[in-house]
Chain A
Amino acid sequence: MLETLQNLGLGFQVALAPGVLWYGFIGCLVGTLVGVLPGVGPLAGISLLLPVTYGLDATSALVMLAGIYYGAMYGGSTTSILMRIPGEAASVMTCIDGYAMARKGRAGPALTIAAVGSYVAGTVSVIALMVLAPPLAAFALRFGPPEYFSLLLLGLLVLAYMNSGSMLKGLAMAALGLLLGMIGIDQMSGYFRFAYGVAELGDGIGVVPVAVGLFGLAEILLTAGRPDPPEVIRPRLRDLLPSRQEWREANMPIWRGTAIGFLIGVIPGSAHVISTFVSYAVERKISKHPEEFGRGAVAGVAGPESANNAATSGAFVPMLALGVPGVPVAALLLAAMMVHGVTPGPLLIQQDPRLFWGFIASMYVGNVILLILNLPLVGLFVNLLRVPYPVMYPIILVCSILGVYAVNSSVVDVWIMLGTGVLGYVLRKLDFETAPIVLGLVLAPMMELSLRQALAMSAGHYAIFVTRPISVTLLTVGVVLVALALRPLVSRTLDWRSRLPAES
């Protein structure tokens, strides 16, 4: 414990250095804007801002990009509560009761409860991250290729299981992403696969153009031609404070949301989105007045908002401890680390303690910055929504093209963004989720390499995956998940997704 505190002290020295603090602040500010603006989620935001970090040192870059991530989680609640437009996917549940509170004249308290809940969840979950990541990293040193393969397979299965749509569609999208990840030079044999003479595809398809295409461009294609945005409710500063009764109603949901969010966040998958659904369902289930949900229940705002922020920190656990991205945003952060010459994985804590602990400490600082930013400046952020979308989207489009091009100075990446943008547009029209594609794309090379290395270790015997304890445990969990997903088909019982409340 003493060692952890000493390390945290080192982290605060790094995080409070003026340069790092400044970039952390910029990250939080930009992240909040990203969260406020519908259609620009944290994935697109980080992708767009990635080139800006090229000139920075690794710590400042990572702190800034992480700031964008959790800033977007905070900012997403503003439009959900005031306009019933989720700034990003994790804020969907906040729309229901947040907007209902706003319609009853309680927009200010709803925003305050969301911000305070986010702050508590963010801070508590960083403590949990701090405690959990180092021992997990030490444990991960026991991982060889079979364990990594099983872990990656489990990650994909969890992602598909937790998918808010059907598991089958989630798996199909993950398989599509894995196939896209096969493009490029085969790491073991040197064969140039599916590149059709395009030299730029030698290193494979980059995660940034695919992410910007699937999330940024697809959203613009879907939204740009739609009619005018809905009415914006503007709270006054003096109306921000919740009543004593509202604080009481928010207290326990904030703590429950924090626990649920962090635990779900640690598991690879669409963590923050799922955590909000689960938190909302739990709050409604245990509430003495479930009939109030959908009509402005305080717990319906406090729980999901806390959960999505706790899940954000939770998602960093596998990324920092194992070097395995659990969510697409973590995959982008890993890519950013590699761009800056940092090798993610279990040895990161030992080899680069300043970066690791600086990053952890910056999250504490970031939470304070976000609390300050989100309450007094809420009016300012809401004013951004006055900019009409027909003016906003060309600006976002220029940033998308610029961000994608700047990663490798390659127009091939811009074409890839265009292709995946159209793919994302069509898939969204056909009710498919696109996040598993990005995760599949990132995991594909790791997965193939670890499979072939494991088989090389065992002289071609697949028994290696079931004779090693960690590997077999991970595979067993995967099998259980598949069985759980298949159960409704067999028994015709409905799973938790169908019991979620419909938006009123």
Chain B
Amino acid sequence: MSKDKTFTFHTKFTSEPEESQLVGFRLENGLRVLMLKNHQAPVVAVDLWYKVGSKDEQPGKSGFAHLFEHMMFEGSENVGKAEHIKLLTDVGGTVNGSTSQDRTNYWEVIPANQLELALWLEADRMRSLKITRENFENQRATVKEERRLRIDNQPYMPVIYELKDYISYSNFAYKHSIMGSMEDLDRATLEDVKAFHDTYYRPNNAVMAIVGDFQGQTAYHWVRKYFADIPAGQPVPGVDLSEPLRQQEVRFTYHDPFAPFPALLISQLIPERTHPDFYPLELLEKILFDGESSRFYRKLVEEEQLALHVAGGQDGKFGPGLFFLFAQLHPEKKISELEKAIHSELEKLAESRVSDSELEKAKNKVQADFYSQQETVRSLADVLCLYETIFHQPQRFFTELERFKGVTTAEIQRAAREYLSPARRSVIEVYPQLEKFTQ
């Protein structure tokens, strides 16, 4: 494991890397570039992570990081509005971006001979944006429709995407919505866009992974050619993500206009993604939620038929994360019965250890996931950016299985006792607005 700590970002290209050999470069402006050659298919992925997300927003400006992500497709010095996507799709590429609480990423997967185009495009919009008021208003309207499409017009989505965080956190950073409120979206200005780009969209706040079928020396040459003269920015201001522990469980009731059945969402506050307890908690996720032999599915859906569906797991973040469960109530049962059964399962984990074979099954599932993450160049690029961004050790991903292998049934029990306790718990009861069910 010691090799994890010795990953070096080179400042010069020295020799052509081998297939599957991870190499890193750091430009003078602070941009970190990861390269991994993988010739499975004649394709290459470029994935650029900026360390900025909704956690960096100020009260009254919710949704801005995501709105800004849209603006990155609206034009830069040499690229017109909507041309970024057009240039890439015209050569057979796929392209998108996404915003989370912690980071924003932009990615392209392209035929192997179009890597230079993708790098040129990413560099152009990192260097400067060129956005008109009209384009800004257009994207503000688009984001409002995205909000309606994904959240406001769907059953349960306001609970899963917004209320969960609202009730689980007291710190504004993670408490507020990624998509933002309609009022806050209306408040955003074109000046905010420029300031946001100047502050966060600097090479020293980014990491870029290039994974797939390419030649290392040529790729390095293009990276230098297009990115090296982009000026570095000031160090990015940090955000306080600390979350005080509460003394007792918090509860909330929500009436959903589109939900056909009541539902229950329970979340537990857990540590940040870099904490060593990530590993026992990940195995707990497998034991409780993964597959038809998982504890919650078997008990709640199959045996006691208290729920129609159950899902959940660990949502690891740069700061305090959540371990959550969402269950849709069986129409002939009561929310109180469902909740009691869930608590009793959680208590069981605290009282007695899981069996060796159950732990082995969970580890086998983790191993299957580990390979799945390497199936496409894009998912591999994404995990490399994640590991560099949070651990500053991108190569750590390849030794993760060793950390899971060492977890014991005693550690699972300790993690369950520590993190699944009522003081860390938030509960949302969801009821159809047109009350069809008596509780």
Partners in one complex: no
